[in-house]
Amino acid sequence: MIKAIAVDMDGTFLDSSSNYDRKRFDGIFQQLQENEIKFIVASGNQYAQLTSFFKGKEDNIYFVAENGAIIYDSPKLETIDSFPNEFVQKAVDYLIHSIDKAAFILCGLHSAYILKSADNDFKKLAKHYYHQLKEVEHFDSLPDDTFVKFALNVEVNQTSHIVYQLNQAFQGEMQAVSSGHGSIDMIIPGVNKGNGLNILLDRWNISAHELLAFGDSNNDLEMLALTEHSYAMETCSPEVQKTAKHRAPSNDESGVLQIIESYLN
């Protein structure tokens, strides 16, 4: 019996227009509440951005944000894992001087931070995904915050090479993972969506195999590996296709909602 559902957002729950069938979800969510099935949003994105998709429901949804570094039993912050400031400064310097044409966002608990000198197209993209975003002149001194992730945007054909380069440069201190379409997340080793979900499942005394999970990119691998009820979206990375036990229809066909309805019925 399914007791919890975890969904990635971009490329999974959301369609190509960054939307979803809200009326259809309203009916599903009501059934989930009636059956005491936990609904978890597990994303690499910022908590403030994720809650904006579920106005009026956020207090009954759990959020594993920033790839598992921040967990909310909304609106209460449950757990946070962060990088040491010394590492953050070292990584910032490396990104600026050693990664050609890499635009990046430094992600904190209270806000995300981007250089004022960043390309306007990248700023526009950043504002879409980070509802709490501040521009800074430089990173010579770090903002007063707790830092949980770096988000990079690189040339799509350079993604695998740069992921490898970063993992070689910061082995043991940081893990770089592709989140699709030229996006790379630099995350805390051992801190991922799967780890975040395990914290919640242990708290609720729910088995991993009572979890239904959906994803499409490599930052979903640990989450999908948890359960036999794991679904790779129709469009997904080869690694996700190999890890997940099942396939779901396209995110543009409300694939996640289709599968949830089949379990509820």
Write down the catalytic residue from 8, 185, 216, 220: 8
Contact 116, 139 (CB under 8 A): no
Angle, in degrees to the nearest 10, between helices 22-34 and 255-264: 30
DSSP the chain: ---EEEE-IIIIIS-TTS---HHHHHHHHHHHHHTT-EEEEE-SS-HHHHHGGGTTTGGG-EEEEGGGTEEEETTEEEEE----HHHHHHHHHHHHHHSTT-EEEEEESS-EEEETTS-HHHHHHHHHH-SSEEEES-SSS--SS-EEEEEEE--GGGHHHHHHHHHHHTTTT-EEEEEETTEEEEE-TT-SHHHHHHHHHHHHT--GGGEEEEE-SGGGHHHHHT-SEEEEESS--HHHHHH-SEEE--GGGTHHHHHHHHHH-
What is the distance between the alpha carbons of residues 152 and 92, in angstroms, rounded to a whole number?
11
In 10 A of CB 101, how many CB atoms?
A: 9
As beta bridge partners, residue 40 has 6, 62
93 catalytic residue (yes or no): no
Residues 70, 71, 76, 80: is their CA dihedral positive or negative? negative
Q: Which residues are catalytic?
A: 8
